Structure 1
């Protein structure tokens, strides 16, 4: 048995975390992360098998097996047994099939961790693979494939395949559907069983756990249950064939994009041999960090409207590679200067010998265990799969102009361009010539902006020796409300923070925010390279920013962000700022968090400031007054009209994008109190799984059926959404109404013990913060919702999670039943959303709701 502490893996976790990993004699990797403030346990099981392992004549087999894992297992044979058990615990589960790894992840209350781990191991190692249930799952996969035909992410992967060797598995579409899996179900079950036996054994698997439990206790649990996984002699991996064709470029767009405003995205890709990418992971990450430090963005923005720029060492669908993705507000007429500028920046990054590691970022606690499980279960690259002569054993030998590939998402309306089409996905694409531009065509370099905070009179502002302020309201006048600290959370050493919020037009705020983000992209990247963070936001209460990190130059960072906001607010931004992405159902659910509440929130002061960190009362007030003076110069442009509009019959229609129909009932809470927010979350938990079963299994309406909770400016909402490839909009609407009429109240009836379990489950999701960043975000949003016409109490502190906990504890079972009755009777504020394909022969952009 081999055991080792993993220092690198703990980077970004809260500072008091502990991480340990161990490989068992069976070959199984286990890893545990003790995060003392974690509210719940995250469990992940991963197997080193993915869609690149699909047989050529049965594409989608790995994905089908992922679905089959949830159809019952040896110790828990019932179909949907795991889903029902997780539901009773108030937890969540999901799974994902990637190129090389399939993972299953559970989020559970801490006390349910061991029972969940037992079920996870049984699911992975001993699935029943019932033939009748699997036949149904083939239909589910087919509906999923059809729904994903509206998602640009699928079309990107299809176009990316044009850059690969046609004989490599990565060149084909991997989603899996009825046509690729076939209809010989007994044969399919036999193939699944053989596929599972070959790939799902301990030597190719990893179990990872993150929770508040001591790390040794977690390791013991993982080892004890992990021993049940099938132990098979490790097989010799087949050579990892080089997937890439000779360097080339491909342009593509989504089939539905002619009716939608679409930004262009250019991806520059430098493939890398797997062994080299693993051995040089740290230098490659340092190169990516240098490309993300703001200097390249500042240079490109001289000639291009760059909305986003990101260098990444783990791009989706490419295997080992460095990717530089640049999102442009409008596709450029000539990309030669852009490409030459990026090539020059990459050469400079590779030549730098003294590489400063990038500042450690706070990781997503949900994503961290999945990333570690995928990393541990992935098979190492076979030696010699790509020849590495002496001159090609360093990353710089591969990061050259000659090795670059281009993937360009272009606008769709180009009459002079002839597009080809990928048959299976109908993705329009065309080859791009690669006449690499000379270095002389690169744009002149621009220095990254550096902070040099000055007050309005031009005098540098330095630290003042005044007293540290007391928590609460520090200063207020007609222009400014300044609050100081009060955060009930351990403070990071030598960190200062400024949070600012101010009223702004809610109409058109999405476009204004996107323009603000574009204008401050260089600034945000440069701040990140210095270990600072700048976050921008907008909602019905107004616009806001959060800046935190080392105090040096932090006020200047805020000044420059305010300048960017004033420039963005002086022009009329487009109503729909970006092209749609994701499934139709997800697009509808996104509206819950962005649409303005029907009851407007209370008035904000002209400028609300919250300050923390290394400064005195006088310095904080002087700095905040400088911010207020800066904002007073803003000149706002008239906002654009709201969109989309309803049809006059209570239905709001999304622009047509596909052949699917989708309907969502939006339900708004009666107020924005913590009590109402908890009640709607409880109701969503009671309704979600039964709604899914009713719509998807009993009625057979479609692939997506869910009940989700969202908030807009703190205002709670529920969304009951169904997406179907065949049912009419009216059929979907009536199905939702029938569910509410028959089951809304019945499912909300809970006795005392059941309600207590739901309380514990909600606290595991929404209880006290798990990380410093989460504490700041939640405290700031709670401060924005305060009534500002009264002074703070003497013992004021900012810990909204304490008030939220008290509100949750006060709820009784009867309160939930009363809310469900109001929902069923239609007395809560409601709004319908719908999507239908455009009528045949009519332009997609001139959609009229179809007759139902």
Structure 2
């Protein structure tokens, strides 16, 4: 793909102090908003932990200009967009993506809700329960508990050591002092001088600026508040800890408290952090991660920032699947120090920075509007330009931070596993943790480190790709509007399928390096179980996709025995609802226990003998031929046989998840697969979405995690309802969904004709927009293939929406309520009597 300069935004500051970044992307069908408030949890009164997070929730519940049912959440959901918010240590983000012609309305609502929220007492009381449910759910999340545990190692006076999530006990709504603090925090920080706004869309920068000027007048003007610098991160309170995490596999967490003097520019500090993360997380041959995996000391390394503000950071290295008994932990710690010494002496940081900048420029070309808006927002906040050449200050700061990581006074060691540990007091979240002794030293070892190699997806193409023994059936479609991008979906089918959990684990382990390489060049690689096979999804620059697929197949078809997965329970540290979503294919498994399958003894051979069904969009003739040459034999992809009509009735599958909160998925398949039926069920899903959220989350306050939407599961199309709750059983959750559906019958009967016409038009527009993009068209074609539907099905659904009648919609609703296509429940518990 020819090198193209990344688009650059236009920067403006309005008279009231609002900082604005405007980026015009003429080819984008959608527009995005990212708005950051320069205040977060560390800026709230210490007496009210969670106040900043609580305010983030409250602003969505009505403003002076828009009632809740007309506000940003409802507006974005109605047009098929996405919206969310996040409270961090020193900033709060609000962001959304909408069709380009809806940007005006979305921006008006976002700015109004931030400037003039109602903060009504009744809404506060309801939302506190939602936030408390979120607190309970986060108390089961592995990353949240890890971050809380590391906070206990920091100095007691540092805000990063405090509990800041908020819950029912810390948000004292009936206190006048709390209400005054809430409104004072809003007045102080939710004003133009504290805000930075990024807009991305197909409009010109002049048009985008006009939209901002039209709606930003209501923001109060005030000078930017100077945030107090944090206290030092040293001395650490704790340095050697052991934590119990139920359902987890043993891991080693090594964290480093890093800080630079205030005279070092913030941009240089953040440039240095990015370079450090890049050098530590590389998976190329001879790197830290590669050598540790070769030595069977761990299975994967994740690097992330737990905390960052001004010149301070807490950098975490997560080494997965580490043997808790024996010298593995000491060996990893020693290897890390040896790797750091190697980088300090051998690395050309200028060259590494240049390579990283070039890759980042490629990544920017692949980002959608929302991801691009959030990326530029982050760059704006830390004062850096993506793809810019390395500064002398940044390179020097990287060397300084590298030296600090070799200082034992700045290191925290946290061993994590399922073994029980006593309760740790005062952390806010429920931690079970104890102090441990430092690990014993291990003898030095020659690791033969190598500097990060060039990305294998770039550079000259291999003259003769390795041809695997597998066969393939392929089909191709032209790109609607791709700008050089393409997508490919494939399903690997096996003569004797192995256990699916191990199949996916093997694929994920073998392709982790390839996924990182793909991400670096603006491509994407995903794996999932589909039926008895493994599904591959690739998207990225069209000229790189054949090379990416070749590497995927080569990695799957070659692996040492040490890389083969061992049978065992899946990692249960995810929230219950996420665990259920990962097991969606089980909805259509035969009732009763899973059939016993012998473990595979030759994983590479299994893949070499597989058969691939594949479908590509946006690939030129030469690129199609390059993919065909990867296989021993190819044929045209035959149409899939239509699925049998689903059986009516109700089916419950117990996922046997051991979790303190109840979670349930209800999938209601369409009883018929014709275009008119699908149009009706898609309309139902769209019309259910807002009321479902309002009823179960707002009124009943069942929990924080829930949604409903149109989905395809194992070739079946229908509506999926998902709920997780700390206060209701799985039986009660199903009862609440049933009651909701019963109430929707009356609502649909009184639905105004104009409202139905608007909903039909909006849904048709969304489907047309999806079909007009490369990844969207590929996904539609692929899902149709898996469902056994003809190529013209998508257009037939859009046509069926024209003139769709209320009587037809009500018939679809009755069919759903009567389970004519069946109700499929996957729950973390046994079925009701």
TM-score by length of 1: 0.77
1:584-630 deviation per Cα after TM superposition (whole angstroms, max 9, x unaligned):
3444444446755789xxxx9933355745738876544322799xx
2:424–2:434: 8 Å Cα contact kept in structure 1? yes
2:306–2:316: 8 Å Cα contact kept in structure 1? yes
Residue 323 of structure 2 is aligned to residue 344 of structure 1: no
TM-score by length of 2: 0.78
In the alignment, the residues of structure 2 paired with residue 377 and residue 579 of structure 1 have an alpha-carbon distance, to the nearest angstrom, of: 36
From 31, 43, 60, the equivalent of 2:21 is 31
SS in 2 for 1:56: coil
1:129–1:189: 8 Å Cα contact kept in structure 2? no
Partner of 1:4: none
In the alignment, the residues of structure 2 paired with residue 710 and residue 574 of structure 1 have an alpha-carbon distance, to the nearest angstrom, of: 30
2:628–2:634: 8 Å Cα contact kept in structure 1? no
From 508, 513, 517, the equivalent of 2:504 is 513
1:44–1:105: 8 Å Cα contact kept in structure 2? yes
1:667-706 deviation per Cα after TM superposition (whole angstroms, max 9, x unaligned):
2234667766554443222112222333344444444453
1:560 to partner: Cα distance: 2.0
In the alignment, the residues of structure 1 paired with residue 223 and residue 29 of structure 2 have an alpha-carbon distance, to the nearest angstrom, of: 38
From 277, 296, 304, the equivalent of 1:304 is 296
Partner of 1:214: 204
Query: Which range moves more in the overlay, 818-827 or 516-525?
Result: 516-525
Give the 3 Å change call, closer, same or farther, for CA 298–799 of structure 1 in structure 2.
farther
1:487–1:799: 8 Å Cα contact kept in structure 2? no
1:304–1:328: 8 Å Cα contact kept in structure 2? no
Count of matched residue pairs: 760
Partner of 2:428: 424
1:53 to partner: Cα distance: 1.1
Partner of 1:830: 823
In the alignment, the residues of structure 2 paired with residue 214 and residue 525 of structure 1 have an alpha-carbon distance, to the nearest angstrom, of: 34
From 412, 416, 420, the equivalent of 1:410 is 416
Partner of 1:669: 670
Residue 363 of structure 2 is aligned to residue 357 of structure 1: no
1:92–1:108: 8 Å Cα contact kept in structure 2? yes
In the alignment, the residues of structure 2 paired with residue 483 and residue 828 of structure 1 have an alpha-carbon distance, to the nearest angstrom, of: 31
1:410 to partner: Cα distance: 1.6
2:667–2:718: 8 Å Cα contact kept in structure 1? yes
Partner of 1:271: 258
Give the 3 Å change call, closer, same or farther, for CA 447–42 of structure 1 in structure 2.
closer
1:66-125 deviation per Cα after TM superposition (whole angstroms, max 9, x unaligned):
122123222235687544444554544332211111122233333332122122111111
SS in 2 for 1:366: helix
1:70–1:80: 8 Å Cα contact kept in structure 2? no
1:61 to partner: Cα distance: 0.9
In the alignment, the residues of structure 1 paired with residue 30 and residue 817 of structure 2 have an alpha-carbon distance, to the nearest angstrom, of: 33
From 437, 440, 443, the equivalent of 2:444 is 440
Structure 2 unaligned segments of length 5 or more: list them.
385-392, 592-608, 636-648
Give the 3 Å change call, closer, same or farther, for CA 770–379 of structure 1 in structure 2.
farther
SS in 1 for 2:9: strand
1:148 to partner: Cα distance: 2.4
SS in 2 for 1:279: helix
In the alignment, the residues of structure 1 paired with residue 488 and residue 166 of structure 2 have an alpha-carbon distance, to the nearest angstrom, of: 49
SS in 2 for 1:159: helix
Give the 3 Å change call, closer, same or farther, for CA 687–426 of structure 1 in structure 2.
same
In the alignment, the residues of structure 2 paired with residue 62 and residue 451 of structure 1 have an alpha-carbon distance, to the nearest angstrom, of: 42
Give the 3 Å change call, closer, same or farther, for CA 520–776 of structure 1 in structure 2.
farther
2:307–2:313: 8 Å Cα contact kept in structure 1? no
2:423–2:431: 8 Å Cα contact kept in structure 1? no
From 549, 554, 562, the equivalent of 1:560 is 554
Give the 3 Å change call, closer, same or farther, for CA 247–167 of structure 1 in structure 2.
closer
Structure 1 unaligned segments of length 5 or more: list them.
1-11, 381-389, 454-459, 464-476, 629-647, 791-797, 837-848
Give the 3 Å change call, closer, same or farther, for CA 31–249 of structure 1 in structure 2.
same
1:444-496 deviation per Cα after TM superposition (whole angstroms, max 9, x unaligned):
5479899999xxxxxx8549xxxxxxxxxxxxx9943244563444462xx89
Give the 3 Å change call, closer, same or farther, for CA 618–552 of structure 1 in structure 2.
closer
Give the 3 Å change call, closer, same or farther, for CA 214–619 of structure 1 in structure 2.
closer
2:283–2:290: 8 Å Cα contact kept in structure 1? no
1:553-584 deviation per Cα after TM superposition (whole angstroms, max 9, x unaligned):
6575244223148979x9776474322413x3
Partner of 2:249: 262
In the alignment, the residues of structure 2 paired with residue 337 and residue 308 of structure 1 have an alpha-carbon distance, to the nearest angstrom, of: 15
Partner of 1:741: 742
Partner of 2:638: none
1:780 to partner: Cα distance: 7.2
Partner of 1:123: 113
1:310 to partner: Cα distance: 3.3
Query: CA RMSD, aligned part only?
Result: 4.5
Give the 3 Å change call, closer, same or farther, for CA 508–803 of structure 1 in structure 2.
farther
1:218 to partner: Cα distance: 1.0
Query: Which range moves more in the overlay, 281-290 or 119-128?
Result: 281-290
Give the 3 Å change call, closer, same or farther, for CA 719–25 of structure 1 in structure 2.
same
Give the 3 Å change call, closer, same or farther, for CA 16–619 of structure 1 in structure 2.
closer
In the alignment, the residues of structure 2 paired with residue 215 and residue 125 of structure 1 have an alpha-carbon distance, to the nearest angstrom, of: 24
From 319, 324, 327, the equivalent of 2:320 is 327
In the alignment, the residues of structure 2 paired with residue 654 and residue 676 of structure 1 have an alpha-carbon distance, to the nearest angstrom, of: 30
Give the 3 Å change call, closer, same or farther, for CA 154–747 of structure 1 in structure 2.
farther
1:221 to partner: Cα distance: 0.8
From 611, 623, 643, the equivalent of 2:630 is 623
SS in 2 for 1:166: coil
